[in-house]
Structure formats: structure tokens, C-alpha cells
Structure 1
Amino acid sequence: MTAQQQHLPPVLSTGTDYQALAEQFRPIFARIQAGALEREQSRSLPFEQVKWLKEAGFGAVRVPVEFGGAGASLPQLLHLLIELAEADSNLPQALRGHFAFVEDRLNAHASSPQDVWFKRFVGGDLVGNAWTEIGAVKLGQVITRVSRQGEQWVANGTKYYSTGSIFADWIDLYAQRDDNGADVIAAVNVHQPGVKQSDDWDGFGQRTTGSGTSVFENAVVEAENLIDFSTRFKYQTAFYQLVLLAVQTGAGRAAVQDFSEHVRQRTRVFSTGNASEVSQDVQVQQVIGKASAQVYAAEATTLRAAAASQRAYESRFGQDTEAEHTANILAELESAQAQAVVADLTLRATSDLFNALGASATSTGKALDRHWRNARTAASHNPLIYKERIIGDWEINGTEPPYVWQIGGGSKQR
């Protein structure tokens, strides 16, 4: 352990009073939920809603208390994201890149002080995400470059699916250095002419996450904001998946809530039904009850997987390299195991709930289908079939899971 490491205070975000923490944000979640349907129907980006969260310090809940944050554990963060996703499942996904960058800076504090970034987070700064390239890029290739231009570093390239960046103050940009070919994270300030963003995501779900194209044209990057990618926190893919699980679980909770309300209000009944009121029909009650149980299981699974990543985070500050390695393996595996079941649970719940109502439930005015569309879209990230194979390879052969995922052209790319 270096002298620098020795002087760092043992500051970890291991948890706080969850109810007290959640009560700070629940009034904001309620305001967000009140306009969620209208934003869905008009495809209006939640700039104002993100501002509410920023001003309330939501982006700093993982920052240690000693630095002005809430000191929340990862399970507590995920619990909050589930509650936020119940209000509007687009928002946790829009903040996914931010919380991943926060997590990386928390882990980096084990070897060097991160006071500057902690202050930025506490001050309300949000970080977006810009990693994915499409088109002619080959698997493993990085086209976006960071290079010297006179006395400064600049970034040039185009990124897609840059979720949440349109709401952010900084962008977590994955690029390659021109001088030595090293992969880096460039923390780029968006408040400059060299950064241009578009809301051009055309998916059928999660339509207001701000997941569009980001173009960097000689965007200035301060030297201290160039971070060697090899130092990235090791359970990052597990973390990214956990946020998607929170999105799906929250969408499921919102679906149960909305369908229950429509059942309570419904006055028309079928002659083949079991009661004079739909709310008293035992088969309809069963539909709602089963969906509620499925979402309950999804939430419990998500929080259980989050606990594994919390252990990986805490092990980063220990002196046992082997224990840290094992914790990172388990974080990745438990996240993948959770993905395999949460997707099935939430997609079944958000689809089967339509059995509780008639054809009127398919009205675009009600937009009840958005819960399934949102869950389906979130579940399509990080292909499930490959995660299941990775789990099986571990169980059978003890093969360590990969920690970094990439996408690009295969051998048949022209």
C-alpha cells in the first residue's frame, strides 16, 4: 500500500437509513409520475424532471457522507431507482451513465483522492454516457480519438445510444489516444461548442431517455479528465445491468399500479365473468395478484444482485487481492443470473395484466402498453442468451465471466 493510499480516510458508502433517504425524493417521484403519461404520448424529454432530481441531490446519493453525499449502499441506490422507475422508467436509464461514472470515481478513491468529482456530484453535476459506435466499426475497434492540438487535448468522433447525455453536464466518453493507442475515458464538459447532441433514438420503448447521437468536434478535454480505461471499476458491466433490472422492475410495479386502478374504475362486465363488479371478480383478482408477486420477486432478485456488487465495491478498499477478484466474479455472475429471471418475470407481468381488462385496455389514450414496451426495451440490452451461456460455462467449467462487452462488425462485415 502506497503512502498516498495510507493517508486516504476510510470513507465508504455502506448505507444509510433507507426510509429517511427515500422520503427526501418520494414527493419528487410523485410529481414525475403525474406527467409520465403525457410525456410518453407527446415524446417530451424530461428536462424539468431531471432538474428536480439534480437540485434535490439525487445524483450524489452514493457519495460518502463525509463529502456531502448520502452514503447510500448499492442496494439502496437500486431500491431508489426502482421507485423512480415506477414513476417513470425512462429516468433511471437516463441516469445510468451518471451513476456508473460515480461508481468509478468511488472506486478510484481507493488509490487517489476524488474530492473534485465528489464536489461536482454534490453540486448537482450529472454525467452522461457515450461509448457505442456503429457503422463500419469492427468488433473491438474504437474510432473516436483523443489527440493533442497545440497545448490541449481534444476529442473527435461520433457516438450513438448516448443515453442521458442530453441532460448532462459531463460525458463519460470512451475513446482512444492518438499518441499511444491506449483506451481511455475522457470526461468531456458538454458546455462547449465542440459537443453536439441529438435526440434521435427511434426505439418503441424507453422513448424519453435522451438516448441519441453525440458528436465531438475538437471538444476540449482537460488533461486531468483523461482516465486510463484499464483502471475502470471491475464490476462495471454488472452495475450497468443492475440499473436495467431496476428499470424493468419499476416498469412492472407501474403496470400493476395502473392496471389495478383501471380494474377499480371499470363498470362494464362480461356475461362470462364471475361478479357484478370487475373489482370483485376472483379471476381478475388472480391476474393482478400473480403480476404483483412476479414483480415482487423481480425486485427481491435485483436487490440481492446489488448486494453482490456492494461487496465488490467494499473489497476494492481491502488489502486482499484474491478476495476482491472473487467479489468481482460474483458481482458479474449474480447480475447475469438476476437478468435471466427478472426479464422473464417483468415481461410476463406487463403482458398478462391485459387479461384483467377488455380490449379497451389497448387504447393508445391509456398507453398501458408502454410498461411492456419499456420493460422489453430494457431487457433487450446485453443479450440475455449470451448471459445465460456465460452462467452455464461458469457452473460447468468454472470459466470466469467477461467484464467488458463490445459490439461491432463481424467477419462478414463489408
Structure 2
Amino acid sequence: MTSQNSREKHPLSYGTDYEQLAARFRPIFNRIAEGALERERTRALPYEQIVWLKEAGFGAVRVPREYGGAGASLPQLVQLLIELAEADSSLPQALRGHFAFVEDRISAAPGSAQDKWLQRFVAGEIVGNAWTEVGAVKIGDVITRVSRRGNQWVVNGTKYYSTGSIFADWIDVYAQRDDTGADVIAAVSTHQSGVKQSDDWDGFGQRTTGSGTSVFENASVDEENIIDFSTRFKYQTAFYQLVLIAVIAGTGRAALRDISHEVRKRTRVYSHGNAPRVSEDAQVQQVVGQIAARVYAAEAAAVRAAEPSQRAYETRFGADRDAEHAANVAAEIESAKAQVAVAGLILQATTDLFNALGASGTSENKLLDRHWRNARTAASHNPLIYKERIVGDWEINGKEPPFVWQIGDSRTAA
């Protein structure tokens, strides 16, 4: 925990009354849920729904109250994202890059640059994500460049899987400076001709996250928005994973909601069933009960996994570097454990729900398969097998986890 003097100099988000906070957004979540099935069916991007969240201040829930935000803790943010994911699992994933950038800015050194960003978040501005490059890119390298053109800094490059950027006012671009070769984050405004975005994500799940291609052609960026990557908040990998865990847990909640509804209204029964109504069939009740238990465990694991990241955030401004380091290690390990546990629980739940229905449960009109597809897609972002190995190595040998994950072409790797 930080000292009182540090708190006065740099207000932090320690948490708020969760029920009061959630009550602000639940009516919006309900409106979002109403159109989720049709958006899934037609692959309609949720532009309007993102605007609802922006206007309600959802993007500023982690901003300290002293700056006009809600002051939510990380476990509270995860709980909110789970509730949003129950309404539409694409939306919290579309906002994953935004909340990561917010986390970095509330963890940054106090000053005018930070103040500007916090004001933007409170005003409803949203930040997207553009980090991944494909093709012959060596692991650890980046092709996108930030360079000086006369009196202006510009960004040139192409990024893929730029989740949420198509909805955003700004994009968090991972790039390299031409002059020093340093890795940086360039916060690029989308309101310019030098930024071109496409909705060309072709995954079988999470189809409406806006995870397409972003092309930067001499896109201007203010010098104060070129941020040294070495200053990035240290628990970022854990944070990114926490959002995906929330997406998966919320997907489980949606699956439980839908299977309960389907069983409740079903009138056709099997001759070899156990009751005159499906809702009274003990075996069907057992299936739904198992799903409910798995969803409960997944949600509890997701919220608990956010606790060490909250400690890492708080100790960032203290004087105890050992405590900060320990919190960062715990954030990585616990998010990895939760990823493995939550993915397993919800992938099983979204498969087992069909045991409570007949073949009609596979109808395209119901799209119940979307829950498995969405959970499977979110669970594939950071392969489970590697997280399991990292956790095992920590438990057996005490080896610390990596804090930055990268991907690249093995043919060009050193």
C-alpha cells in the first residue's frame, strides 16, 4: 500500500461501492443484450452500443474520483466486464485496448500529459489497440516506425488484430522510433486521413469486436503522445489476460441464462425422460445445475485473479520495490491460473448445455453455439498450454513468469 503522502500527491483508484457503480450501467447492459443475437447473426458491429457506454462514462471507471472517474478497483472492473460480456461478449473485448491504455495512464507519472489523458477518458474518448504485425517479422522486432517529417512526427506501418480500434478516437500503436531505435507507444488520433481501418477479422467467434487491420500512412502523432515502452505498466500482460478471462466468464453467464430460458419454455419431451415437463426433469436440472456451478467458479476465479494486479497498481507509487515486484509476479501467475481454470470451466459449460435440449437446440435461429465459439476464440489468444507450463515452472522451480509476450515468424527468429 502507498504512503499517505504518496496518495495526496497521486490520487489512486482503490475501489468504490460496486452495486452503486454497476447500477449506473446495468440498464445499458440490458439494452445491449437486446440486440446481441441479431448482431451476431448479421455480423453488425456495435458502433451504437459503444457510444452508449462512452456517453455513460464506462471508459473512465478506473480513473480516480479526484479526476472525475469512478475510482473502481481492478476486481470491480473485471466484475463489470463480466456483466457486460453476459450482454455481449464482443464489447468488453473491443474495449480491452482502451482499458489497458487507461491503466497505463493512471499508472504514469503525474503531470500535464497524464492530466490531458485522464480528461479525455472522462470526456468519453476511447482508445483502440494496434500491436500485432504478421508476415516475416522476427520475434521481438517491430516494423511500424515513428519518424520525424519536418516539424511533425508521423507513424507508418500496418497492424492486424487491432481490436476495438474501428470504434476508437485514438489508437495505442506499438512502434519503433527511427532516430533512436527505441520501442514506443504512439497514441495516434483516428480523426485523420492517415489512419485507415478495416473490419476483416475472420475468426469463427467474437465476430463483432472490430479486430481488423489498421494502416498508418504518415499518420501524425504529437510528440507528447510518443511514450517510451520501457515505462509501460509492468502488469500489462496480466491485465490483458484479465479482460479475456472476464469475457469468457461473462460468456458462461450468457450461456447459463440462455439454457435456463430454453429449458423453461420447452414443451416437447422424450418418452424415456423423467417428467411430463422438461423443466421438471431431474437429469436436465442436473445439467443446468452443473453449468451454474461452473459459471459461479469461473466468475469467482476471474475476480480473485484481479486482486494482485490491483496490488501491483497500488505499490507502483510506494517506496517498497520488493513489494511491487512480488505483486507483479503474483499478477502474472494468478491471471495464468485463472485463464486455465476459467477456460476449462466455460468451454465445458458451453458444450454441456446441449445435453439439456434436443436436436432443435442446434437451430441456427437460437445460435446457442455462439457461446462456445466466443469462449473458444477468447481462450485462444494466449495459448493455454504455455500458461500451464509457466505456472508449473513457478510452482516447481520458482521461476518467474515472462512479463511481455511477443509473437513473430520463426523463420526469421535469431
1:125 paired with 2:101, answer no
SS in 2 for 1:200: coil
1:188-199 to 2 correspondences below 5 Å: 188-199=188-199
Corresponding residue for 2:173?
A: 173
Q: Which residue of 2 aligns with 1:42?
A: 42
Q: CA deviation at 1:136?
A: 1.4
1:379 maps to what in 2? 379
Q: What SS is found at the alignment partner of 1:212?
A: coil
Task: Name the structure 2 match of 1:269.
Answer: 269
1:243 equivalent in structure 2:
243
- The aligned counterpart of 1:299 is 299
Aligned residue for 2:147?
147
Task: Give the distance between the partners of 1:278 and 1:158, measured in 2 at CA.
Answer: 53
Against the structure 1 CA distance between its residues 358 and 7, is the aligned structure 2 distance closer, same or farther, given a 3 Å change threshold? closer
Counterparts in 2 of 1:329 and 1:110: CA distance versus 1, 3 Å: farther
Q: 1:169 to 1:39 in 2, by over 3 A?
A: same
| Rounded Cα–Cα distance in structure 1 between residues aligned with 2:43 and 2:159 | 22
Aligned to 1:89: 89
- Quick check: 2:263–2:278 contact (8 Å CA) kept in 1? yes
Aligned partners of 1:128 and 1:274: how far apart in 2? 51
Q: Which amino acid aligns with 1:80?
A: L
8 A contact 2:137–2:412 mirrored in 1: no
Number of positions where the alignment pairs a residue of Structure 1 with one of Structure 2: 409
Does residue 1:364 correspond to 2:364, yes or no? yes
Secondary structure at 1:93's aligned position in 2? helix
RMSD: 1.3
Tell me which residue corresponds to 1:213: 213
Change (3 A) 1:280 1:307: same
Contact 1:8–1:113 (8 Å) recurs in 2: no
Give the match for residue 19 of structure 2. 19
Distance in 2 between residues matched to 1:6 and 1:303, nearest whole Å: 27
C-alpha deviations, 1:294-338, integer Å up to 9, x for none? Answer: 010000000010011101100101111111011100000000011
2:305 matches 1:316: no
SS in 2 for 1:172: strand
Cα distance in 2 for residues equivalent to 1:404 and 1:114: 23
Aligned to 1:339: 339
Task: Confirm or deny that 1:78 pairs with 2:87.
Answer: no
Q: CA offsets per residue over residues 204-247 of structure 1, 9 Å max, x none?
A: 00000000000000000100000000000000000000000000
Cα separation, 2, equivalents of 1:257 and 1:411 = 46
Matched to 1:122, the amino acid is V
Distance 1:8 1:222 in 2: 30
> Secondary structure at 1:162's aligned position in 2?
coil
Per-residue deviation, 1:411? 3.5
Distance change in 2, residues 1:284/1:189 (3 Å):
same
Deviation at 1:9, TM superposition (A): 2.1
Match for residue 403 of structure 1? 403
Q: Percent of counterpart pairs with the same letter? A: 74
What is the identity, as a one-letter code, of the residue corresponding to 2:383?
Answer: P
Tell me if structure 1 keeps the 8 A contact 2:200–2:213.
yes
**Match status 1:30 vs 2:30:** yes
Indicate if the aligned counterparts of 2:256 and 2:291 stay in contact, CA closer than 8 A.
Answer: yes
Distance 1:321 1:342, change over 3 A: same
Distance 1:383 1:330, change over 3 A: same
Partner of 1:290: 290
Unaligned 5+ segments in structure 1 are none
Output the CA distance in 2 between the equivalents of 1:247 and 1:111: 33
Letter in 2 for 1:32: I
CA contact (8 A) 2:350 2:371 kept: yes
- Whole-Å separation in 2 of the counterparts to 1:393 and 1:294: 27
Note closer, same or farther for the CA distance 1:138–1:63 as it changes in structure 2 (3 Å cut): same
The whole-number CA distance in structure 2 between the counterparts of 1:203 and 1:7 is 44
Whole-Å Cα distance in 1 between the matches of residues 344 and 28 of structure 2?
Answer: 30
Give the letter for the 2:407 counterpart.
Answer: I
Long gaps (5+) in structure 2 = none
CA distance in 2 between partners of 1:302 and 1:360 (Å) = 33
Query: For the Cα contact (< 8 Å) 1:110–1:317, is it kept in 2?
Result: no
Once the two structures are superposed, residues 61-115 of structure 1 have per-residue CA deviations (whole angstroms, 9 ceiling, x without a partner) of 0000000000000000000000000000000000000000000001104688611
